[in-house]
Each structure stands twice: as C-alpha cells, then as structure tokens.
Amino acid sequence: MWTWFHRLASPPHFYRLAERWLPWVGVAAAGLLAWGWIGGLVFAPPDYQQKDAFRIIYVHVPTAAASLSLYTMMAVAGAVALIWRMKLAECVLVATAPVGAGMTVVALITGMLWGKPMWGTYWVWDARLTSELVLLFLYLGVIGLQQAFEDARAAARACALLAIVGVVNVPIVKYSVEWWNSLHQTSTILKLGKPTITADMAVPLYAALAGTFLLCAYAILRRVQNELLWRERRTGWVAELL
Amino acid sequence: MSAVAALLRREAWLAARSRSDWLMPPFFLVVVVTLFGLGAEPNDPRLARFAPAILWVANLLAALLTLERLFRADHEDGTLEQMVLSPLPLYLVAACKLLSHWLLTGLPLVLLSAPLGAMLGLDTAAVVALVAGLVLGTPCISAVGGFVAALTVGLPRAGLLLPVLVLPLIVPVVIFGAGAVRSAQQGLPVDAPLYFLAAILAVCVTLVPWVCSAALRNAVD
C-alpha cells in the first residue's frame, strides 16, 4: 500500500514524474489565471462602494492565501524530512521558501496599493498586516539559514526545524482579523453560510485562486527538479539525463 | 539530578571566570536607554510614552548580544559532542543551558530595567507591569534565542544570521510585554497581556528544549 509513497521519494522517479506533470500544470495555471484575471478585471461589475479599486482582490486574495498555504506546506515537508529523513521532502522545503516569499511580497504590495485609496494610508500597524510581514521575515529567515550552510542536508534539516517553529504564526495571520479589531476586513468567500459576494465577482476569483496555486505548484516542481539535479549531480541517472 | 546540578555549576564557574560575558549586556542596556534619553529633548514627557518600546527592544538586543556565544565555545572545544554522546537526555542539557543563560543575562537585565523605567518617566504601576512582563518574557527570549543559536552554531556568519532569525519569532513577546506597560500607563488592567506572556512562556518551557536538542544534534552530525 505504501509502495507509491516510497517510490515517490526516489529522486529519479520523482524527476520523471514531475517532467510528465509540468506541462499540464503549466497550461492549467495559465488558463485559469487568464480566465480569472480577464473575467475579474474586465467583465466583473464594479463594486457599489469601492468602484474599480476592488479588482485588486483578483491578485491580492490568491497570493495571500498562497503565502499561508505554502508556509504550512513547507512546515509539513520539514516534518516529513525530519521524521523519515526523506531527501525529496528536503528538496520540497528548500524549493517552497522562495516561492512563498514571493507570494507574500506580492500580497503585501497589492494590499498597500489598495490601502492608499481605501484607507488613506499605505500601512497601518495592525494585527493582519504585521503578522503577514512577520511571515515574510520567517520565509527570508529560512532562505538565509539555508544559504549559510555548506552541507545541503544539514541545511535542510535546520530549515525544517525553523519552519516548524515558525508555523505558530500561520493561525495568527489567518485569524488575526477575527481575534483583534483590525482595519483589514474579514474573509468574504471562505466562510459558512451564504457568501457576501455576487457570483459575477466570485467565479473569476475562484479561478484566479486555483490558477495562483497551480502557478506555485509549477514553480515549486521546477525548483525541486533543479535541486534534485544539483544534489544528485554525481549519480548515474543525472549523467544519463543530461 | 546531580548531572543537572553539575551542568549548572559548570555554567556558573565559566561565567565567574569571564566576567565581561555577563557584565556587558547590563552595561549595553544602560547605554542604549541613556542614549534614548539624551537623543530626545531634555525631560521630554513623550519619552515616557515610548519607554515601553525602548526598554523592551533594548532588553531584546542586549540578550541577543550573548546568545551567539551560548553554544559556540562548547562546539569549538568538543564539549558539545560529549554532551550529545553522554547518557543524559540532550533536552535536559539544552534546558540547563537555556536556564543558565536566563539566570546570568536575563535576570540582571530585568532587575536593571526597573530603575531605567523610572528614569524614562514611568510611574510605579507601569514599572511593576514592566518588570512582571520582563520576568515572563525574557525566559522566552532566552529559549527562542537559544534554539536559533543551536541551529546556527558552527556557521561562519552566525552572528549576522542570529538576530534576523530570532526577531520575527519573538515579535509576540514584545507586543504583549510592551502592551502590558502601555495598559498600566493608561490605568487599564494589565492581566490580559501578562496571561498571554505566561502562556507563551509555558509553551517555550515545555517545547523549546526538545527542538533545541534536535538542532544541536543536527549541528554535531
């Protein structure tokens, strides 16, 4: 039953698997992002209050969601790497950090650009914004720690420990808008009951969300492939491949 | 138990033989707070409003100064390897190192912060909130900082990396610690932020020695 799991951990097997998935993931990401962004930026009706400024959600919400999900994934990969000493999980951990950091930067910048016309300021020191900034620092810390080591495996295990300790920040970011009085609004789409967003606006948003996650998957798979090639550069299967 | 006592006694001996190690952080704290006092307008009443942030950040930076050396000497002369190989559980060794770090650097800083708070114009209630917050918060700084010191021990640029990794992890402690002082200044109850600090301390005391020992094992592997 677990053979697929063990086979997945084998670098040459995973490399070939990723090679087979990548075109599909790439095409799906491009298609969904095109649907979400064209639908959201051109066809969705303007908001009754924010007019066209609300359209930033088609970038801001997907990247912010990805920044949190990727950190969680990085910590899970770290736990797998520590418990089973699985090389592939180490590669996933190392590959996820820069992608997650990029998503966090985009979420912060788009939020600031929206904040200026809507709140009258680019930045406020409230719970949601501050904890998202701390998330960026945690990503940068993992990247910095990884680059300080000479040995790739020791680096990945150290990063795994740091990522696991830092994961306490994820629920703080997610629930900061409910626990504290934040200027940032609460979630519109991910809640129980009737959504408070019309379908014309919501459907492109879901497409943009799925597209962004697939784009991250594409970037991470490519980075994992590179990491595998570099780590296994002295082995037969890499020599055969290149 | 005797092994724990021996470990703590060893730390005390080492500290007694190199006084500058534990005398420098309090001196650093005094100089930093004095510079804030001198940098502002003389007797500026606004200084008291910034005092919580100044004192907490100065405490944090003073503790960071010593953290880099927490495991470095032991790593260089091979003591750390002996500790990893010894029959004593490694989390107990880590807990002893963290406890001794707090006793030798955290506690003096806490005691010194009370008169410094008064110098910056805090009233009695605010000083009490400051000291109570620091008593709960500085062990968290020692614990989280010690964990990161264990992660980076033996790295060439550990001194630069350590603050960058510690500061984001310690943000909640500073928020609630300084928040307690601000509440006291406004005459509000201070127990909510102090309870938060106590909860963070409970998590640190119970979990950090384990992750710290995992980091040490990774460093000597």
Residue B101, C-beta contacts closer than 8 angstroms, at least 6 positions apart = B66, B67, B70, B142, B146
Q: Residue type at B185?
A: Q
Question: Hey, what are A154's tokens?
Answer: 């020791």
Residue A194: pLDDT band with limits 50, 70, 90: low
CB contact under 8 Å between B214 and A82, yes or no, is yes
Mutate to test the interface with A, among B140, B147, B151, B203 (most CBs of A within 10 A): B151
**Residue B116 pLDDT > 60:** yes
What is the rounded CA–CA span in Å between residue B112 and residue B108? 6
Any domain includes A10? no
B94 has a pLDDT exceeding 60: yes
Q: How many domains does chain B have?
A: 1
CA distances from B101 to B32, B65, B94, B200, B201 (A): 21, 12, 11, 18, 15
CB A60 within 8 Å of CB A103: no
pLDDT in tens, B172-201: 899 899 999 999 999 899 899 999 999 999
What does the pLDDT read at residue A192? 52
Asked whether residue A33 is domain-assigned, the answer is: no
The number of C-beta contacts closer than 8 angstroms across A and B is 53
Residue A185 is classified by DSSP as: P
- Cα A228 to Cα A21, A43, A218, B11, B186: the distances in Å are 16, 43, 15, 44, 57
C-alpha distance from A223 to closest chain B C-alpha (Å): 24
The region of weakest confidence among A169-173, B50-54, B197-201 is A169-173
Cβ-based neighbours of A105, under 8 Å, separated by 6 or more: A136
How far off is chain A from B207, nearest CA to CA, in Å?
A: 10
Domain that holds residue B112: 2-220
Distance in angstroms (rounded) separating the CA atoms of residues A39 and B213: 52
Q: Identify whether A225 is part of a domain.
A: yes
Average pLDDT over residues A18-35: 94
Residue numbers of the domain that contains A143 = 55-186+195-241
Q: Is residue A79 part of a domain?
A: yes
Residue A99 lies in a domain: yes
d(CA A111, CA A47): 17
A34 is a domain residue: no
Question: Which residues in chain A have their CB less than 8 angstroms from residue B171's CB?
Answer: 130, 134
Chain B nearest C-alpha distance from A23 (Å): 37
Q: Which amino acid is at A221?
A: L
Average of per-residue pLDDT across B151-176: 88
pLDDT at A219: 96
CB contact under 8 A, A148 and B169: no
In a domain, A171, yes or no: yes
Model pLDDT, residue A234: 87
Residues 6+ apart with CB under 8 A from B41: none
Q: Does B172 touch chain A (CB under 8 A)?
A: yes
Alpha carbon distance A185, A137 (integer Å): 23
A51 - beta bridge partners? A47
Quick: pLDDT tens for A115-169: 888 888 888 888 888 889 999 999 999 999 999 988 888 999 999 999 999 988 8
CA A2 to chain CA centroid, Å, is: 28
Selecting from A134, A149, A161 the residue whose C-beta is nearest the C-beta of B214 gives A161
- Is A130 in Cβ contact with B164 (below 8 Å)? no
Put simply, whether B147 touches A (Cβ < 8 Å) is yes
Q: Is A148 on the interface with B (CB under 8 A)?
A: yes
Whether A67 contacts A212, CB under 8 Å? no
DSSP A44: S
Structural domain count of chain A: 1
Predicted local distance difference test score (pLDDT) of residue A145 = 92
Predicted interface score ipTM higher than 0.90: no
Within a domain: A46: no
**Predicted pLDDT of residue A40:** 85
Q: Which tens digits make up the pLDDT trace of A8-19?
A: 788 888 999 999
Convert the pLDDT of each residue in A77-114 to its tens digit. 999 999 988 889 999 999 999 999 999 999 999 999 98
